[in-house]
Every structure is written in structure tokens, then in C-alpha cells.
Structure 1
Amino acid sequence: MSGTFGGRGRRQGRLSQWLLGRRPGEAPTDDDGRVALLLAAAEAGLPMAPAAHPAPGYGCSCDRVGCPTPARHPVSFAWQTQSTTDRAQIERWARHQPQANFITATGMSHDVLDVPLEAGRQALERLLANGVETGPVAESDDGRMLFFTLTRGTPEDEDEWWPCELDCRPETMDEHPGLRWHCRGSYVLVPPARLPGDDGPRVRWVRGPEHPLPDPLTLLESLTDACARYAGEESDPAEAAWPVRR
């Protein structure tokens, strides 16, 4: 994957301007580039499917009473097979569901290393200072930073895959506050996405999808070190970084 998505210099420029020009708390709309951002992510190889969005009352557009992950989950149980990078399909979804968030299914073409926001910012600063290619990075106003990487497996070598349940499931993330490795069987919200809350919290790109996906192992040491420091600053031992398999 190249550093500029497919002879797309002008598109990348518009994407960068949109990322820099957004005001804090501003909700995404088609007019200010929501569809363009989703299509850029798809063109970068992130398979996507529609997700729930914030709503008054229950806080989630789904009909589940007491939804445990409001506006953070797919709308279909078939999200793994539904997820696609097809431009026409994603544009149809986005146009027909203008309020919908989107998830990207991990473990197909990419994984996501998901860390506490402050730990992620420290690690990102250190990685960039050392000249390490970090690839796309997103941050969420609910306190997480997402590092998008190549996957550890592909459909051609399924025996090398491990399911995300060995780390955590999307529904149980609050139990694992340190580093989470989203791989096969998991998903994350892809920017731009909105979260429940009066102040318009959201998920946005810090480094856009035009950056090539790195090998996750090139980021792992910096991220685990930052998580360990973050855990050491927390008074509650339950906030210790989630252990990563070797």
C-alpha cells in the first residue's frame, strides 16, 4: 500500500483540509466530508459495515434496552461477512443512513492496537520522533487511541490467526483498560463517528488512512511501555495494562 491512496493527491489534500478544519464537537455531515472520509478509509483497505448511532433516551439507535455499547456496535449480526471495501456499497449505505456510524472489521486486512488515550499520545510522539512509520491513527473522545496496522494473518493462512476473544470481545472492553489487540472477530469504529453525550464526543483521525499500514510488532514495544507507565500513574490497580501475548 502506498503512502498516497492511488494517485489521489488532490483527494488527499481535501481530506487533510477537512481533518484540520473541523471544529471540536462538530457532528459529521455529508456536506463537510463524511462520505469522503469513509470512502478514503475503504480505499485504504479497511472493510466496513454500518453501525448504530447516538440517540436520545436509550442513547443508542438500536432497540436493545440498556445497550451496553451505545453507538459503538454494528447494526447487523452478519457484520463480518457484510463488511466491505466496495466503494459503491459504502456510498449507498452512507447516503441512505446519514446518521449511521461505521465499524471496520479487524483481522481481515488490518488489526488495531487500542490503548488509553494518554498512553497512545505519549507513544505516538516517541514513535514519530524516532522516525517510525506509525500508519493511520485515530482517537476517541471516550479516552482511547487506535493504531491501525497490518493483520497478523490472512484468509490464506488461517492457522496462524488467533481470535480476538483471546484478548477481549468488543462487548467486554471496559474490563480490559490497557492495551487491546483487535484482530479476528473484532471491530472498531472508523472515523468519522459520533458517541453518546451532550458535548458531541466523536472518533476522528489523528493520522489519516493515506498512511500505509505498518507491521504491528514495530509499534508494540512503544505501546506496551506507554501503557505500563500509564498504569503506574493510576491509583487503581484494576487499571493495569492488559497483558499482551508473546
Structure 2
Amino acid sequence: MERKGRFSQWLRRPRGGSGADTDPAAGAGGSREDLLLAAATADFPLAPAAYPAGYRCSCDRVGCPTPARHPVSFGWQTQATTDAERVTQWLRTQPEANFITATGMAHDVLDVPADAGRHALERLGAAGIEVGPVATCSPDRMLFFTATRGTPADEDEWWPCELDCHPETMDEHPGLRWHCRGSYVLVPPARLPSDGRVAWLLGPERPLPDPLTLLETLTDACALYASDDADHETAAWPIGR
């Protein structure tokens, strides 16, 4: 009961424009640089991403389908790094940039609708199941960071994220997405158009759980809230191209 109460406090925390800078899960020193270096220290491979420029994306693409949600470089998979010096250099030279973390290298991400994520957190807490880092993407998504399946010896055992969803088909995937090889998510703190934010609910210093310990609860929660998720134009996250 004590654990469930603690989760309830986290879930009731305001999620307004203050974003990650006031997130108690970020720990001491919640500046943008501190948070990104903490992610790098947790072995999350980082690379610069686009950011909001007024009501549009900072990239040069007219009508960008995923504004402020995609990497700057097409070589983001080889560019992504945990090197603190390199990340600090990017912070100095690209002060407005968001950052992505490449999945399928050191971690995967289970990406679910926010309502389903909050319901799942309550259930997991009540069951005494430890979750790892969790980020909110206001207003409509929640990201559960887990250990990665990586690249199995038998390639038929698993598949890259490209087989699951592309940006042009993301309306078909309003529920759970498993970001693994070949994908990425924004890492907190990040800014989105219309004052959206990506912020830590539970910080990156937490151990990464096996994704299978969370999957059933997250899947059940997504099914429970599926009927409320008919409007999902911005529900899913893109993969690189």
C-alpha cells in the first residue's frame, strides 16, 4: 500500500509548462545540461534532434510530419554517444536542440498512451513490480525505458522497429509501440510544439527492468483505454529515415 501511495503521488504531480526543470525525479541539479549528462551517464546513447521554431520544426523540411521529434542527422545511429564531452560540445554549439536516445543499443522503450501508462504504473506499484526510468510526453504519451533485447543470435527471433511502424503509418499504431533496433525516442528535457514537454517522471538513474516484466500490464492497460484513443494524430513516435 505504501508503494502504491508513492506512485499515486508521482502521478498527481502537475505536468504543466514547468517541464523537467522542476521534476522531483530528476534529483539535485535539474538543469537541462545536468539532465542530459545524467542520461549519458546512465548509458543512454544521445544525438541532437530538431526543436520547435515558432509553430513549425527547426528543420528545413516543408510540412515536417514529426516537428521537433526527429534527429538532426541522417547518421544518428552512428552519431549517438554516451561520451559526456561530446554531449557537452553539442549543448554548447546547438543550445536549442532537443536530444534523442537511440534504442536497441543499451535500452528499449515501451511507448504507450499517457492514460494507459498511468493506469499501468498504479497496477505495477500495487503488485510490487519495479519499473525503470519513465518519461512523460505531454499531453498524450508515456515512455517506459527497459533493458534491450539487442540483436539476438537468431535473427528470426526478433525484428527491428522498422517492421512495426513508419512515420507515414503512425496513425495505425495508437497503442503500445516497442522501440528497439533502428528506432529512437526524445530524451528529457525536450520541447515540443504548442508548449508540449518531455520530462522525467522516474529518473534515468533507475535500473532498467526486463521489458517482459512490464509488457503484459502495459498491453492490458492499452486495451482498456483503446476506446478512448480514437483521436491519435500525434500518438506515435517516428523512426529515422
Instruction: State the partner residue of 2:209.
Output: 214
- Paired with 2:231 and 2:52, the residues of 1 have a C-alpha distance of 32
User: Secondary structure, in 3 states, of the residue corresponding to 1:68?
Assistant: coil
User: Secondary structure, in 3 states, of the residue corresponding to 2:53?
Assistant: coil
User: Could you tell me how far 1:173 is from its partner in structure 2?
Assistant: 2.7
Instruction: State the partner residue of 1:42.
Output: 40
Identity of aligned residues (%): 69
Whether 2:100 is the aligned partner of 1:103: answer: yes
Q: Is the 8 A contact 1:116 1:178 kept in 2?
A: yes
Whether 2:182 is the aligned partner of 1:185: answer: yes
Q: 2:124 aligns with which of 124, 127, 131?
A: 127
Q: Which amino acid aligns with 2:202?
A: R
Flag the 1:158–1:49 CA change in 2: closer, same or farther, 3 A: farther
User: Could you tell me how far 1:170 is from its partner in structure 2?
Assistant: 4.8
User: Secondary structure, in 3 states, of the residue corresponding to 2:40?
Assistant: helix
User: Could you tell me how far 1:22 is from its partner in structure 2?
Assistant: 9.4
User: Could you tell me how far 1:131 is from its partner in structure 2?
Assistant: 1.3
Return structure 1 stretches of 4+ with deviation > 6 angstroms: none
Q: Is the 8 A contact 2:51 2:96 kept in 1?
A: yes
Q: 2:220 aligns with which of 222, 225, 231?
A: 225
Flag the 1:184–1:22 CA change in 2: closer, same or farther, 3 A: same
User: Could you tell me how far 1:135 is from its partner in structure 2?
Assistant: 0.2
TM-score, structure 1 as length reference: 0.80
Q: Is the 8 A contact 2:19 2:199 kept in 1?
A: no
Flag the 1:229–1:66 CA change in 2: closer, same or farther, 3 A: same
> Which stretches in structure 2 are left out of the alignment for 5+ residues?
1-12, 22-28, 237-241
> Which stretches in structure 1 are left out of the alignment for 5+ residues?
1-20
TM-score, structure 2 as length reference: 0.81
- Paired with 2:19 and 2:47, the residues of 1 have a C-alpha distance of 20
Instruction: State the partner residue of 2:137.
Output: 140
C-alpha RMSD of matched pairs (Å) = 2.6
Which structure would you say has the larger RCO, counting Cα contacts within 8 Å and 6 or more residues apart? 2
User: Could you tell me how far 1:142 is from its partner in structure 2?
Assistant: 3.8
- Paired with 1:170 and 1:79, the residues of 2 have a C-alpha distance of 16
Flag the 1:88–1:138 CA change in 2: closer, same or farther, 3 A: same
- Paired with 2:232 and 2:34, the residues of 1 have a C-alpha distance of 40
Q: 1:26 aligns with which of 14, 18, 33?
A: 18
How many residue pairs match? The answer is 214
Q: Which amino acid aligns with 2:163?
A: L
